[in-house]
Structures are given as C-alpha cells and as structure tokens.
Amino acid sequence: MKYQNFLFLTTIFIGVYMVYFPGIEAYEAKVFTRMDLVQCRVWAEDQGSNRIAGDDGYHDCSGSDSDMIIGTGSDGPNDRYWIIVKVLAGTDDYYHEAFTNHTCVCVMGNFKHIKIRAHIIDDISNCDDDIACFS
C-alpha cells in the first residue's frame, strides 16, 4: 500500500510541476549575413563575455548559404546576449544593444565596415531576411 501511495503522490507532483512550470525555451537569434565577398564568423556572448553559441571558424558570409540560428540556451528575465561579428583580415563589431528575446538579425557590410540590424520578434519562425535586412 505504501508503494501505491508513493506512486500516486509522485504522479500528482509531476502533474502540478508540468502545469505550473512549463519547459524553458531558450532565446534564439536568426542571423542573415549579407556581406560583400568576405569570410566572417558570428557568435553570441552572454553578459560575462563568454561565447555561448555560434561559429567556431570563418565561412563565406556573402549570401543565404551562411544564414544561421544561434540558440542561447537560456531565457531568464535577467539574461542578456550580444551578437558578435568578426571578419577575416578585417574588423569586428557587435550589436550594441543586448537582446533579451527572440531576435531577427541582419549583418551587412564589407571587411572595413560592418552594419548590424536587429528586430525583436515573438517567434523565430516569423523571421525572414525582408524583416531583418530591409525594414
């Protein structure tokens, strides 16, 4: 009888937990790279300047083949993230405002100048390059 009570209470506890504490969904940034014939890498850093997601190496950033989604792994109310871009044999830059939500990002420019545009969105699937780069 004790085992049945244990299973019953465990089931109730798990049910209450699932209702009041739903799964945590990490923030994501969809990044479109529209740069002029350059190699670049794009990554996200947290508020402690720790790299948390993104590129490990350089790749072609001149077209749609280089679009990516960067997941942050967390979405706490005080979590802030920055998108960093570094161009091979050139400059590096970051989006100067931290993002604290799903974000649609466009990286444009060349090896001398990088322009980063960002738009907060409610769902990462609603992000496209028209929103990020041309609005």
Q: Is the residue at 5 inside a domain? A: no
pLDDT tens-place values along the chain, 135 residues long: 576 766 666 766 665 555 555 445 577 888 888 888 888 888 888 888 888 888 888 888 887 666 777 776 666 666 788 888 888 877 778 777 788 788 888 888 888 888 888 888 888 888 887 777 876
Residue 1 within any structural domain of the chain: no
The residue segments making up the domain with residue 34 are: 25-134
- Stated pTM of the model: 0.70
> In CATH, what number is assigned to the domain containing residue 114?
2.60.40
Residue 73 included in any domain? yes
Q: How far is CA 50 from the centre of its chain?
A: 14
**Domains of the chain: total:** 1
> Within its chain, how far is the Cα of 116 from the centroid?
14
65 in any annotated domain: yes
- Whole-angstrom CA distances from 112 to 37, 68, 77 are 12, 22, 36
